[in-house]
């Protein structure tokens, strides 16, 4: 790929599964053979390192944003997969990156050789929404509050012409949940993936191993793998290596093609 495909994982509502999905998407894309950088841009509560057992890493996103370190010098390599990670720093000192530093950072990311860059973000919206990314992945849970937040998110992304897709996490298929059809009708667009509620997720977080590596055959891991395979379809260079590309894959490629 000429430029990396930059995916910002976001939600207005907190605790819906952004970090879990970012980490597992990045790990699976890496295992599918792509070069991947995972960025912990959650400057409020950075926990990507904890999900990956890299708690000892002390420098990363904040240092790069402040111009104190170069990306390649503070990128950590996940030992068992080779995934590259720009970790966040846990600090008592408050930090919010400036709009200018976010623009600079995105331009820097665009010049890297990665196939995919997955960015985990804090809940809500801040200035980074305006920055040119390839796509925003909106995460929600199947309830009314999360749907309302997802609709607001999509409106903001629409306003700034940022391509976005929607995934629903922690699905238990219970009567009190919103069904995919109800979500699609309220949201006005299709749901791109559903990830089930799965005890393997908290178990894997407690073990500091991403769910996909912790238990590959768990319902959550399988759903993540299916979704990540569709993501990989967006890497034009590797199209030939994809499973048979019928109308659906063509539709997906069109849907996610860089603006």
Task: Confirm or reject binding of residue 168 to ligand ATP (CB under 6 A).
Answer: no
Beta 116-120 vs 5-10: how paired, if at all? Answer: parallel
Which residue, 19 or 153, has its beta carbon nearer to Mg ion? 19
Closest CB to Mg ion among residues 46, 142: 46
CB distance 48 to 40 below 8 Å: yes
Q: Which is nearer to ligand ATP, 115 or 200 (CB)?
A: 200
Minimum Å gap between C-beta 8 and Mg ion is 13
Binding site partner of 153, from ligand ATP, Mg ion, none, Cβ cut-off 5-8 A by kind: none
Can you tell me whether residue 219 is helix, strand or coil? helix
Q: Is 202 exposed, middle or buried (0-12, 13-18, 19+ CB in 10 A)?
A: exposed
Site track for ligand ATP across 112-151, x = CB under 6 A: -----------x----------------------------
What whole-number distance in Å separates Cα of residue 170 and Cα of residue 181? 16
> Going edge to edge, which strands form the sheet with 135-140?
76-77, 84-86, 36-40, 116-120, 5-10, 135-140, 164-171, 193-196
Q: Which of residues 8-37 bind Mg ion (CB under 5 A)?
A: 18-19
Quick check: 8 binds ligand ATP (CB under 6 A)?
Answer: no
Give the nearest distance from C-beta 173 to ligand ATP in angstroms: 13
Which part of the chain contacts ligand ATP (CB under 6 A), choosing from 61-69, 106-114, 126-134, 199-207? 199-207
Concatenated DSSP letters of 99-125? HHHHHHHHHHHHTS--SEEEEE--SS-
Beta bridge pairs of residue 38: 85, 118
Query: Which residues lie near Mg ion (CB under 5 A)?
Result: 18-19
Query: Which residues lie near ligand ATP (CB under 6 A)?
Result: 11, 14-20, 42, 45, 123, 169-170, 195, 197-198, 201-202, 205, 220
């Amino acid at each position: 790929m000429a430029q990396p495909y930059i995916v910002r994982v976001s939600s207005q509502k907190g605790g819906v599964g952004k970090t879990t999905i970012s980490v597992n998407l990045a790990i699976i894309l890496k295992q599918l053979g792509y070069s991947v950088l995972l960025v912990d841009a959650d400057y409020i509560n950075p926990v990507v390192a904890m999900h990956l057992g890299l708690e000892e890493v002390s420098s990363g996103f904040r240092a790069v944003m402040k111009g104190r370190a170069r990306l390649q010098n503070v990128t950590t390599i996940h030992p068992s997969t080779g995934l590259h990670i720009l970790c966040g720093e846990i600090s008592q000192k408050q930090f919010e990156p400036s709009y200018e530093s976010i623009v600079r950072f995105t331009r820097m990311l665009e010049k890297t050789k990665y196939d995919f860059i997955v960015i985990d973000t804090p809940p809500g919206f801040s200035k980074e929404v305006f920055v040119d990314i390839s796509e925003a992945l909106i995460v929600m849970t199947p309830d009314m509050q999360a749907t309302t937040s997802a609709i607001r998110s999509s409106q903001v992304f629409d306003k700034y012409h940022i391509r976005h897709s929607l995934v629903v996490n922690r699905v238990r298929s219970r009567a009190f949940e919103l069904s995919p059809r109800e979500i699609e009708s309220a949201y006005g667009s299709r749901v791109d993936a559903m990830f089930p509620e799965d005890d393997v997720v908290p178990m894997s977080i407690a073990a500091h191993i991403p769910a996909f590596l912790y238990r590959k055959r768990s319902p959550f891991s399988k759903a993540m793998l299916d979704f990540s395979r569709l993501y990989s379809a967006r890497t034009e260079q590797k199209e030939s290596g994809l499973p048979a590309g019928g109308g659906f894959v063509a539709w997906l490629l069109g849907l996610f093609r860089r603006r």
